Structure 1
Amino acid sequence: MNALSAAPLYPSLSGLVAFADDSPSAKAALETVLRRAGYAVAGFDCADDLIDSLDGMAPRAIILDLEMPGMSGFEAFCEIRRRFPSSNDVPVLFFSAHYDADTRAQAEALGAADFISKDSSPMVVIAQLNRVLENVLSH
């Protein structure tokens, strides 16, 4: 994901994307890609901070790193859905450099909208996010 910070503008659906990632470099890169694509960004260093800030926030999507100290991305997903019933309409995408078929299956079983690899190019990240948001709009 080191090339993310050099990403050119890609078309997006815009709106606020909230995300949590404990890696400063991954967080900065994702924030840059999202902003260059036209999204407003609310980035957090941990899931707890994101969850504590969600009250009153109206994100179009939430992106969660899977492996964070404290609450994992999976745990955060469940807590968000429990604490904010209206969040069921907000797609949650998982973001990780390390995942396998079992991890992807667990994400799908929870109801995640998609799984983004941290190794993806900026264009792929934005394409996946846009596709998820287009699917939400069409339903």
Structure 2
Amino acid sequence: MNALSAMPSQIGPDGLVAFADDSPSAKAALETVLRRAGYDVAGFDCADDLIDQLDGLYPRAIILDIEMPGMSGFEAFCEIRRRYPDAVNVPVFFFSAHYDADTRAQADALGAADFISKDASPTVVLEQLNRVLGHSMSAC
């Protein structure tokens, strides 16, 4: 068992959400939505940085932008599952502005918890996250 799975994932009232997105505006917006809902946040500019720091974070969920320089969100998902097999129960969401049937099918085939559109309202983002994490909507 590694440190990622050995430590309780609950940090703040709703736990930690780790995410990677190379867009500063999308990253800032997602961080604001999550913090206002009671989540602790660890945001990274690329998937490599998130993966390198993941062992000490103990997230309740991970959100990955699909299209990033270097490692894509899909590649990051596979690397997380390879490097941290004991963390298979940490739900991973894909986050992208490019939502189509093929992208959704690829996310589903990998075993993603859900697909979050970057143009979704904060309410929809939190509904998706909270549904998977199993708790009710926090006030924004």
- Shorter-chain TM-score above 0.5: yes
Which amino acid letter does the alignment assign opposite residue 126 of structure 1?
Answer: L
Give the corresponding residue for 1:14: 14
Instruction: Give me the TM-score of the superposition, normalised by structure 1.
Output: 0.86
Which amino acid letter does the alignment assign opposite residue 131 of structure 2?
Answer: R
1:87-130 per-residue CA deviation (whole Å, 9 max, x = no partner) reads 20100000000121011011000000000000000000001000
Give the corresponding residue for 2:10: none
Q: Secondary structure at the match of 2:88?
A: helix
Unpaired runs of 5+ residues, structure 2, are: 1-12, 136-140
Q: Distance in 2 between matches of 1:44 and 1:68?
A: 11
Give the corresponding residue for 1:108: 108
The alpha carbon displacement at 1:57 in A equals 1.5
Which amino acid letter does the alignment assign opposite residue 86 of structure 2?
Answer: S
State the aligned residue count.
123
Instruction: Give me the TM-score of the superposition, normalised by structure 2.
Output: 0.86
Q: Secondary structure at the match of 2:50?
A: helix
Which amino acid letter does the alignment assign opposite residue 47 of structure 2?
Answer: A
The alpha carbon displacement at 1:55 in A equals 1.1
- Is 1:119 aligned to 2:113, yes or no? no
Give the corresponding residue for 2:60: 60
- Is 1:30 aligned to 2:34, yes or no? no
Runs of 4+ in 1 over 6 A off after TM superposition: none
Q: Secondary structure at the match of 1:94?
A: strand
- Aligned-pair identity in percent equals 84
The alpha carbon displacement at 1:134 in A equals 1.0
Q: Secondary structure at the match of 1:53?
A: helix
Give the corresponding residue for 1:50: 50
Q: Distance in 1 between matches of 2:79 and 2:67?
A: 15
Q: Secondary structure at the match of 1:63?
A: strand
Give the corresponding residue for 2:93: 93
Unpaired runs of 5+ residues, structure 1, are: 1-12
Q: Distance in 1 between matches of 2:56 and 2:84?
A: 10
